[in-house]
Amino acid sequence: MLKRFAFVAAFVSFVALTGCTVMPPETPAAPDGPDHGVTGATLEFTALTFDPQNLPVSYEFIWGDGRTTGWGAFMPSGMSAKATHAWRAPGDFEVTVHARNIAGRESEFSPAHVVVIGGESGYPDSLIATIRVGGDPTDVAATPDGRYLYVASETDQYVRVVDVRARAVTSQFLCGTGPWLLTMRPDGERLYVANHGGNSISAVQTSDNTIVATVRLGDYPNRPNCSPDGARLYVPLLGGRVKVINTRDNTVVATINVGSDPRECAVLPNGRLAYTADCGSGTLSVISTASESVVATIDLPFNPHRVQCNPNGDYVYASEYDGDRVAVVRVSDNTVVATVTPGHYPCGMVCLPSGEYLYTGNVGSDDVSVIRTSDNTLVKRIACGDAMWAVTTPASGRYVAACSRYSHAVYIIGRSARPPAYTTAR
């Protein structure tokens, strides 16, 4: 230890004499550790970084619940540090770390490692946060990493940005008349806004929330969707057409005639087929993305409002306009194999990335329903706000966000608590 500090003293003296600048340690990678745990259980995480001058470094872990480790003991550059923590309450927590060298220079904070505490049910099942956003939220979209939500508000014209970690609106912007519905490109670099009153689609660069293109379409665009590779955007129009946009240059490359009043378009994970919820004709139109044409029409027992594909690509779900049902359609033969009653007026839907659960936002019953997809069973209804219009989830599926049009809020649904397991000595 004395030799190490003698080296550091000599190094600092050298810096003082030569005028060289002491560099901070490199920014550590996200801490390595478990993704899940339960309240009260101790979890271990590791961190690693290097110092440009090969100086000893110390680490501080930040646990995301208001507590930290404080600065640890100095250790050689390139040696990993370990720390443990037990969370006292359920929720989603972002674990970060930073480092400083023995000369006092500090690194930037690492990217976050998200750990989910609780989760007895195996899916987000409890309301953990309410974020007031104002306006009249009609749709919500998550960035793939789950850090930010975008919320459309048709009547006051704004799209608002919610920092999920801070539980607050951090910015807002204007992009067109009547921003109504949203979709996020799979890579998270572009948000597409359907401006219902402006008859256009706005392409928003999410790095700085600037409008990089406005595509004039006419005829009231509804909820668009991207192909899995992000190269095409499928936009349903009220008059019974789908416009296909090349997202590279934001030009319309095809127009497809579908059923009456298509409200949403969804693309299978393999990118081969897209489906429109034709509210005016009580059908789903099946589009071949290769030929950009309708190859089948599926009759439903009701007029559909929204449509969602599951992550495996073997089922499509359609919610009933101003009704109570969700139809389950088998993709292999375009057959309705089940109907589920999640709540009154189910509107927006989203599947968890695992495909095990489908969530519906219920406008009429002011809640969010959870449907187990293996047997199409309603397993939970989660009370939220007035008129739950839309739901979304990030790529990790660690939470579900739902927007309430008339409570002017976004609700974050996470995993519930369960007590740690104890063994009793005999």
**Amino acid residing at 87:** W
Cα separation, 396 vs 191, whole angstroms: 18
User: What stretch of H or E contains 215?
Assistant: strand 210-216
Report pLDDT digits (tens) over 77-109. Answer: 999 999 999 998 877 789 999 999 999 999 999
pTM for the model stands at 0.79
Would you state the pLDDT for residue 199? 94
Question: Residue 6 above 60 pLDDT?
Answer: no
pLDDT band for position 11 (cuts 50, 70, 90): low
From the CA atom positions of the chain, what is the Rg in Å?
25
Of 5-14, 53-62, 293-302, least confident by mean pLDDT is 5-14
Would you state the pLDDT for residue 37? 81
Q: What dihedral angle (degrees, nearest 10) is formed by the CA atoms of 112, 117, 123, 128?
A: -90
Per CATH, which fold does 126-414 belong to? Methylamine Dehydrogenase; Chain H (2.130.10)
**DSSP letters spanning 72-90:** ---B-TT--EEEEEE-SS-
Report pLDDT digits (tens) over 253-277. Answer: 999 999 999 999 999 999 999 999 9
- Straight-line distance from the first to the last Cα atom of the chain, in angstroms, rounded to the nearest whole number: 48
What are the residue ranges spanned by the domains of the chain?
A: 2-117, 126-414
- For the stretch 401-407, contacts whose Cβ atoms lie closer than 8 Å and that sit 24 or more positions apart, written own/partner, are 401/140, 401/142, 401/149, 401/164, 402/140, 402/348, 402/359, 402/361, 402/368, 403/133, 403/137, 403/138, 403/139, 403/140, 403/151, 403/361, 404/137, 404/366, 405/136, 405/137, 405/138, 405/363, 406/136
* The domain over range 2-117 is classified in CATH as 2.60.40.10: yes
Report pLDDT digits (tens) over 334-383. Answer: 999 999 999 999 999 999 998 999 999 999 999 999 999 999 999 999 99
* Residue 387 DSSP one-character state: S
Residue predicted with more confidence, 425 or 228? 228
pLDDT band for position 9 (cuts 50, 70, 90): low
Report pLDDT digits (tens) over 227-238. Answer: 999 999 999 999
Would you state the pLDDT for residue 39? 77
Question: Residue 38 above 80 pLDDT?
Answer: no
